[in-house]
């Protein structure tokens, strides 16, 4: 099934466009006044300045895609980033990136058909993707500075869903996902608070979510935890052996999943 033929999964209760603004404002508050040379453990080899540059660049690039209502994969990622001239300008530059995004959101109906590398070929794909790029890197900045992250539960549930929905399409930049094949093995991710239950099935040609969630099916392996912790787990910011997770079933299957699902 091609990206353009694949139906979007459900309707999210999250206003992704508004949440981008909120998460960016939190990100800006975290990095303002911080040492831009601070190492970021969640992104090995990056400094805080590298992290902010990446997050803001993503917002500006996605904004260009939205304004252009692109219908095919872009040939270039070149964007006029208007980078700050001094090391003390990163926070304001990131805030300006969110302003660029807000303008693109206003100018583009979220239901506009567009090319997208993931499962939903509409403008809303890019707003949702931008949100979780911003949120996860906001968490990276907080962890780098010794701040305990707080993630809204509804956002965390939506973020796990967005990750699992789009991961099967990510092989062009996450080649290890091609190793996630099998003979019908299943992995369940479930939130302890309710409202989040996903069943991934590995087949000979790849993997994907069961469209009905497979809620009546027993899984070969299950990971259960708080929604925020599951979000950080799928993004590699928490280890599978963290005390916050309950793991049952085939542990080798879980190990294989997490060894090959890096986004």
Contact predicate 19/31, CB 8 Å? no
Please, what are the domains in the chain? 16-150 (1.20.120), 160-260 (3.30.1050.10)
Confidence at residue 75, expressed as pLDDT on a 0 to 100 scale: 86
Q: How far is CA 114 from CA 10, 27, 69, 110, 169, in A?
A: 18, 28, 6, 10, 16
**Considering only CA atoms, which of 162, 133, 172, 141 is closest in space to residue 227?**
162
Confidence at residue 215, expressed as pLDDT on a 0 to 100 scale: 66
Q: Please determine, for residue 134, whether its predicted confidence score (pLDDT) is greater than 60.
A: yes
76-92 in b/e form (b: 16+ CB < 10 A) is eeeeeeeebeeeeebbe
Mean pLDDT (the chain, rounded): 93
Q: Tell me whether strands 206-209 and 221-225 are parallel, antiparallel or unpaired.
A: unpaired
Chain segment 18-32, per-residue pLDDT in tens: 999 999 999 999 999
Contacts of 218 (CB under 8 A, 6+ apart): none
Q: Full-prediction pTM beyond 0.85?
A: yes
Q: Please determine, for residue 6, whether its predicted confidence score (pLDDT) is greater than 60.
A: no
Confidence at residue 217, expressed as pLDDT on a 0 to 100 scale: 74
Contact predicate 233/201, CB 8 Å? no
Confidence at residue 157, expressed as pLDDT on a 0 to 100 scale: 97
How far apart CA 241 and CA 246 sit, in angstroms, is 9
Residue 216: band (very low, low, confident or very high) from pLDDT cuts 50, 70, 90: low
């Amino acid at each position: 099934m091609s990206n353009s033929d694949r139906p979007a999964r459900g309707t999210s209760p999250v206003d992704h466009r508004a949440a981008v603004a909120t998460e960016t404002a939190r990100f800006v508050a975290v990095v303002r006044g911080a040492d831009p040379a601070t190492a970021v453990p969640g992104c090995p080899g990056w400094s805080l300045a590298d992290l902010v540059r990446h997050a803001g660049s993503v917002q500006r690039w996605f904004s260009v895609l939205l304004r252009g209502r692109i219908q095919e994969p872009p040939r270039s990622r070149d964007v006029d980033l208007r980078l700050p001239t001094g090391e003390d300008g990163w926070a304001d530059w990131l805030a300006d990136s969110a302003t660029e995004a807000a303008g693109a959101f206003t100018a583009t109906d979220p239901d506009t058909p567009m090319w997208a590398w993931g499962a939903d070929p509409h403008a809303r794909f890019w707003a949702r993707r931008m949100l979780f790029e911003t949120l996860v890197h906001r968490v990276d900045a907080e962890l780098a500075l010794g701040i305990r992250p707080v993630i809204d539960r509804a956002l965390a549930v939506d973020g796990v869903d967005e990750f699992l929905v789009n991961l099967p399409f990510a092989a062009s930049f996450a080649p290890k996902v091609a190793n996630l094949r099998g003979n019908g093995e299943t992995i369940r991710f479930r939130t302890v608070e309710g409202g989040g239950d996903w069943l991934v099935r590995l087949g000979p040609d790849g993997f994907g979510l069961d469209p009905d969630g497979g809620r009546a099916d027993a899984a070969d392996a299950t990971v259960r935890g708080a929604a925020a912790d599951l979000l950080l787990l799928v993004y590699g910011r928490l280890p599978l052996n963290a005390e916050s997770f309950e793991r049952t079933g085939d542990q080798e299957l879980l190990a294989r999943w997490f060894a090959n699902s890096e986004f």
